[in-house]
Amino acid sequence: MPFDSGDRTILRDLATRVAEIASLPVMAARRSMWKKHNALERVRPMILVFPEGSWRELLPTETLACKTARAREMEWELRRRLYCHEHIPDDAVVEREWAVDRPYKVSGWGLEPISIPSSQDTGAVRFEPVICTSKDLRKLRCPEVTVNGRSNLMLDEVQELLGDILDVRERGVRCVSFHMMSVYCRLRGHANVMMDMLTEPEWLHEAMSFLANGYSSVLKQWQALNLLDLNNDGTYHSSGGVGYTNELPRPGYNPERIEPCDMWASAEAQELAGVSPELHEEFALQFERRLLGPFGLNGYGCCEDLTQKLDLVLSIPNIRRVSISPFADVERCAEKLQAWCIFSWKPHPAHLVGHFDEPSIRAYIRRALEMTTGCVVEMILKDTHTCESRPERFTRWTRMARELAEQF
C-alpha cells in the first residue's frame, strides 16, 4: 500500500537530514581512510561501533512516529543513521544511498533446527538434534535460489518517495559469508559435533563436504541468476569491517555481471573455538578455503580465539582481514599478523555493563594499541547485547578509543 501523507512527511524529513550529513567533508575523508586502511596502508587505528542488541535501549521502537509497519522499518533505519552520527563518533561513513534488496529467496537445507527458547527474554536458545544417525544426513538438501519476479514494486515506491533526496537503487547479494559449522551444530547439536570429531570423524567429514558443496551450489546459482553485487563500499564485512577499497572490482570487470573475483567474502567457525588447529583445519578450514578461493578479498573469524591458528588462516587465498576476538592473545597475534592482514580487534563488550571503569578501559585499549604497533589495526566494538540503558556509555567509550587512536 502507498505511504500515507503523515508517514511520507516523517520519512522525507529524516532522509533530508541523512543526505545533509552524507554530504559533509568528513564522510569523504573517512571513506578515503578506509580505502587506505583496507589496502594495508597504516593510517591510524580505525574504529567502528555496533550497538547490536543494545539498540532496543538506544532507539526503542515505541519512540517511532510512523503508523504503518513498513514505514516504521524505514523510519528506524533513518533514525539509526542519525543516532550514530550524533552520538557515536567512530569512523562510520553515512552514505546517501537507500538500498532496496532484489527479491530472491534461498531455501533451507532440507532439515529445520528445533530450538528450545530460554526462559529469559534475551537468553540463549538450545537446539534439539534433528540429525541423530548417519542416515539422517541423507535428508539434507542443497539450498535452491529463486527470484520472485523480474520487477520490484517496492523499488518503484521508495524511488517515488525518496528518490529526489537519497540515491535509491536495487541491490543484489552483497554480504557473502560461509557458516558451515553453525548450520551443522544447529542440526546435530554442538556437544554431539565435538564428540563426532573423535568417534565419528568420517560422518562429520561427509556432513562438512555436503555443506561446502551446498554453499558452492548457492554461489553458482547467484551467478547464474546475476544476483551478485559489488561490496567495495560501506557494506558490513567479516564480523565488523567495511568494504571500501580501490582493489575491487578487478580491472576490466563487467558492471552488468559481477563475479566472485570482484567481491569480498568471509567465513568463520566459532563453534570450534576450543579445538586444536589440526581439528579446525580438518573439519572446517579445508572446506572454507575452497569456498573462499574464488573471491577477490577475504576475511576470516568472528568471536573464536584464533591465536594458535593464524598460520592456517593466513593460507586462505586473498586473506585481508582477520578477526582477533576479546579472548585472543593480542600480543602473540600481533607478532604473527604484523602488516600482512588487517588486525580486526574486538575489544571486550562487557566493559559497557556493570561499573563503567573509564581509567581501566582506557588502559585496556592503550595496552592493545601498544602491542599492535606495526599492525594495520581496527577496533570493532560489537556483541554489545546491553548497555544497561546507559546509552551515553557508547559515546564515552568511542571518544576514549578515538583519543587513543590519534596517538598511534
pLDDT of res. 150: 57
Q: What is the pTM of this model?
A: 0.96
CA distances from 324 to 223, 269, 292 (A): 32, 13, 19
How far is 239 from 323, CA to CA, in rounded Å? 7
Which segments in the chain show pLDDT lower than 70? 1, 149-151
Spatial contact of 398 and 49, defined as CB atoms under 8 Å apart: yes
Give per-residue pLDDT as tens, 86-116. 999 999 999 999 999 999 999 999 999 999 9
Instruction: For residue 174, give the 3-state DSSP assignment.
Output: coil
- What integer pLDDT is reported at residue 149 of this predicted model? 67
CATH of segment(s) 5-407: 3.20.20.210
Pick the closest to residue 161 from 59, 16, 62, 61 (CA basis): 16
Would you state the pLDDT for residue 124?
87
Average pLDDT, the chain: 96
In whole angstroms, give the CA distance from residue 139 to residue 370: 52
Q: Where are the beta strands (DSSP E) in 163-317?
A: 167-171, 177-178, 236-237, 241-242, 264-267, 297-300
Residue among 288, 175, 319, 294 nearest 240 (CA): 175
In 3D space, the residue among 311, 292, 289, 313 whose CA is nearest the CA of residue 301 turns out to be 313
Task: List the grid coordinates of 139.
Answer: 535428508
Domain assignments of the chain as residue spans, ordered by start: 5-407
Total Cβ atoms within 10 A of residue 348: 13
Strand partners, 299: 266, 321
Quote the percentage of the chain above a pLDDT of 90.
94
pLDDT of residue 1: 57
Question: Distance (Å, rounded) from C-alpha 50 to C-alpha 325?
Answer: 15
Give the residue from 318, 405, 336, 327 showing the smallest Cα distance to 375.
336
CA 9 to chain CA mean position, Å: 32
Rounded Cα distance between 235 and 34, Å, is: 12
How many residues in total does the chain contain?
408
